[in-house]
A = this chain, B = another copy of it.
Amino acid sequence: MLVRMHKDARERPSSRELDALAGESVFCSEFKYRPGTEIFGEAEPVEYIYQVIDGAVRSYKLLSDGRRQINAFHLPGDIFGVENGNVHRFTAEAIIETTTRLARRQRIFGGRAPATNNVLKLITRNLQHAESHMLLLGRKTSLEKVAAFLVEMDRRLTAAGVMILPMNRRDIADYLGLTLETVSRALSLLKDQWTLTFLGQTQRQIELLDRRKLAELDS
């Protein structure tokens, strides 16, 4: 037996919390997974909410070439797989022999006061952004990071074909987990490759010339 309990005196994770979460729908059952087994996959529809009874689970995102970023480990007592949308945003796998209790996700979202729903959506959007940003910070190269930044800003900021950045190189660097020099070098490289150009005298106005190349750098 490799798995142990929480330090904080919780004898055994009760299903109470899970019941509370699932609301009215207290259809609960247990399920056991062998080491390395997938519990649910990225982009799969959300059917259940899970609570670890015994064992350990990793949830992660992948880049196309196999680089992996584990978002979190789920240990006994933890609830995971709670999503706002209809599909999972990452993959969950049992690390060792793991027992989970699961409850049907009977539309946790919707059917509530609109204000609450909006708060949920908003926080979920933040969480979603954080999750993909962890993948960026942990597993992407400097060039990929800068490309991802440009793609994001292009989506959010571009008007009339021009992107005018409000932030300086240091801000970008601190967003991407780099130094400002590295950001500057990456931008110069992309400029030399005709992937973008600077407009005006300051280097804050950027026109993207090759969005396809940026998108594939972004992976």
In the complex, chain B residues whose CB is within 8 Å of the CB of A122: 21, 79, 82
CB distance from A116 to the nearest CB of B (A): 6
Q: A20 vs B109: C-alpha distance in the bound complex, in angstroms?
A: 16
Residues of B within 8 A of A119 (CB): 21, 82, 108-109, 120
Identical chains bound together, number: 2
24 intermolecular pairs with C-beta atoms under 8 Å apart: A3-B166, A4-B159, A4-B164, A7-B155, A7-B156, A20-B115, A58-B175, A68-B174, A69-B175, A69-B177, A70-B175, A71-B133, A73-B167, A73-B171, A82-B119, A109-B119, A119-B120, A126-B127, A127-B127, A130-B134, A137-B137, A137-B138, A137-B177, A138-B174
Structural contact, B7 and A158, CB atoms closer than 8 A:
yes
